Amino acid sequence: MKSGKRLFHLAWFVSKGYGPKGWRNNWGGPNPANWVKPDLLVSLAQSLERAAFDYVMIEDSSNVPYTYKNSHDTYVRYAVDSPKLDPSVLAPFMMQATSRIGIVTTLSTTEYNPFMLARLTNTLDHVSDGRSGWNLVTGSNDGGAQNYGLEKQYPHDQRYEMADEYVELVQKLWDSWDADAMVIDRERDMFADPEKVHPVHFEGKYYRSRGPLSAPRSPQGHPVICQAGGSPRGRTFAARWAETIIAQSGTVAAMKAFREDIRAQAIGFGRNPDAIKILFLVAPIVDEFEDTAWARHEARIAEAETNREFYLANMSRITGIDFSKYDYDQPLPDLTSNGHLSVAKLYSGRTPREIVRTGRSLRDVQLVGTPDKVAGTMSEIIEEVGGDGFLIIDPEFTRRYICEIADGLVPALQKRGVVRTHYDHVMLRDNLLAF
């Protein structure tokens, strides 16, 4: 790799989780009903490993929403944010088919009991030789909370307060077996050393658990914690716990400010800010020729306009705000939300049409063009922001798009010496900390 250039990290965001992908897209594959099988996502993980990505993150939510028009009709009809199968069943298939890439599974603190979550993430770390990550979400949608017996979601900031305690407990459970507890010594007739296994006796405000975990320490000890809080309280939470943060910012200046804020807060928690890798959501469009890439960009906007109900329903689910009640062409008021607060703030002052048209793209820089051109722009953004990398989102999610990124864009980035060409390590944390 060339010296003097800032290396950055790449990860992939599987939006719509383990759900239907590209079912009405011309490049969606011969049998859209196959989405229930892990094949496409396994093939994604293999392609991204070929491109030496740090990790693939599987998004999740576990309800059929009804926020938009107070009805589940739009969600069911167009497969908006549902249906979704369980990502923790998908993850082992991806792990089994790869050997270096990290697999990050979304698991919600309001939905999982902490002991179950500690056990599950520990198991995933064992079976993957230390390539497992936990996308730590608190849940946001009332419908989701109601599936788990609550009347509605806990208040936004309280969810993070509860999650603070939750992580403390989970980490104690992960630590409850010493690294050398499992001796498997036939001569001493000892499988594990009882002195090296410790109950945790955790008594918190919200959670209790006796411990120890019913499984030995995993290769990473602590599976990597990934987090996405963007609100003031969410950022403080992320600065305290996250090892990689997935962030959505509308402009390059906002990316830079976000990163600086997280790093400053991390220092306040006594952490090394370089140990937190902040990856920004982008949706590049690359093609062989500049004009065909722009034509596809325009087609993507036209598609969003045509299927606006899909996008409005998605925006409603995320924020808990019913966007059918707002004029499509009038700027939205200053919004607040008990769901994704930072997203509600991103929408404030813009018209729904504008939000539908831009999707998750940056507003000030367009990542559209030939692989080489887009690679150049991505490196310039990272130079400006200061680090640490990008989280690619799948606007089309087809094998064609995966190939364009893994075999088109990434080689162009590698040629510039700004991303890795091979893995130096097996475990996810080691790869994240490599630069």
Ligand X SMILES: Cc1cc2nc3c(=O)[nH]c(=O)nc-3n(C[C@H](O)[C@H](O)[C@H](O)COP(=O)(O)O)c2cc1C
Report, in Å, the least distance between residue 158 CB and ligand X. Answer: 12
Contact stretch for ligand X (CB under 6 A) within 55-63, 71-79, 111-119, 303-311: 55-63
* Phi and psi at residue 393, to the nearest 5°: -105, 155
Peptide bond into 394 cis (omega under 30): no
Report, in Å, the least distance between residue 244 CB and ligand X. Answer: 11
Count residues near ligand X (CB under 6 A).
22
- Say whether residue 139 binds ligand X (CB under 6 A): yes
- Judge whether 18 and 34 are in contact, CB under 8 Å: no
Residue type, 83: P
User: In the complex with ligand X, which residue's Cβ is closer, 360 or 400?
Assistant: 360
- Say whether residue 60 binds ligand X (CB under 6 A): yes
User: In the complex with ligand X, which residue's Cβ is closer, 38 or 234?
Assistant: 234
Q: Residue for token digits 């017996």?
A: 149
- Say whether residue 11 binds ligand X (CB under 6 A): no
- Over the window 85 to 114, marking each residue x when it contacts ligand X by CB under 6 A and - when it does not, the resulting string is ---------------------x-x------
What is the spatial distance between Cα 56 and Cα 54, in angstroms, rounded to a whole number?
7
- Say whether residue 248 binds ligand X (CB under 6 A): yes
The conformation of residue 197, written as its DSSP 8-state character, comes to B
Both tokens of 361, joined, read 């793209």
- Over the window 12 to 31, marking each residue x when it contacts ligand X by CB under 6 A and - when it does not, the resulting string is -x------------------
What residues have CB less than 8 Å from 260, skipping those under 6 apart? 386
What is the spatial distance between Cα 167 and Cα 409, in angstroms, rounded to a whole number?
37
Q: Could you tell me the CA-to-CA distances from 326 to 332, 333, 350, 352 in Å, in that order?
A: 7, 10, 11, 8
Q: What is the dihedral of CA 165, 171, 172, 178, to 10 degrees?
A: -170
Per-position DSSP letters for 53-93, written without gaps between them: -SEEEE----S----GGGSSHHHHHHTSS---B-HHHHHHH
Contact stretch for ligand X (CB under 6 A) within 2-10, 94-102, 137-145, 346-354: 137-145
Q: Residue for token digits 């307060």?
A: 161
User: In the complex with ligand X, which residue's Cβ is closer, 158 or 214?
Assistant: 158
- Say whether residue 79 binds ligand X (CB under 6 A): no
Report, in Å, the least distance between residue 359 CB and ligand X. Answer: 13
What is the spatial distance between Cα 130 and Cα 124, in angstroms, rounded to a whole number?
8
Report, in Å, the least distance between residue 256 CB and ligand X. Answer: 17
Report, in Å, the least distance between residue 123 CB and ligand X. Answer: 20
Among 153, 249, 342, 398, binds ligand X (CB under 6 A): 342
- Over the window 226 to 245, marking each residue x when it contacts ligand X by CB under 6 A and - when it does not, the resulting string is --xxxx--x-----------
Both tokens of 425, joined, read 């390590």
- Say whether residue 340 binds ligand X (CB under 6 A): yes
User: In the complex with ligand X, which residue's Cβ is closer, 234 or 273?
Assistant: 234
- Say whether residue 281 binds ligand X (CB under 6 A): yes
User: In the complex with ligand X, which residue's Cβ is closer, 202 or 310?
Assistant: 310
- Say whether residue 431 binds ligand X (CB under 6 A): no
Q: Could you tell me the CA-to-CA distances from 184 to 113, 187, 316 in Å, in that order?
A: 30, 9, 53
Contact stretch for ligand X (CB under 6 A) within 18-26, 44-52, 54-62, 119-127: 54-62
Other Cβ atoms closer than 10 A to 51: 22
Among 98, 140, 176, 361, binds ligand X (CB under 6 A): 140
- Say whether residue 117 binds ligand X (CB under 6 A): no
What is the spatial distance between Cα 8 and Cα 54, in angstroms, rounded to a whole number?
10
User: In the complex with ligand X, which residue's Cβ is closer, 223 or 371?
Assistant: 223
Among 19, 51, 54, 59, binds ligand X (CB under 6 A): 59
Helix (H) or strand (E) holding 332: none
For 220, the 3-state DSSP assignment is: coil
For ligand X, which residue has the nearest CB?
A: 234
For 387, the 3-state DSSP assignment is: coil
- Say whether residue 246 binds ligand X (CB under 6 A): yes
- Judge whether 393 and 283 are in contact, CB under 8 Å: yes
Interacting residues with ligand X (CB under 6 A): 13, 59-61, 106, 108, 135, 137, 139-140, 156, 228-231, 234, 246, 248, 281, 340-342
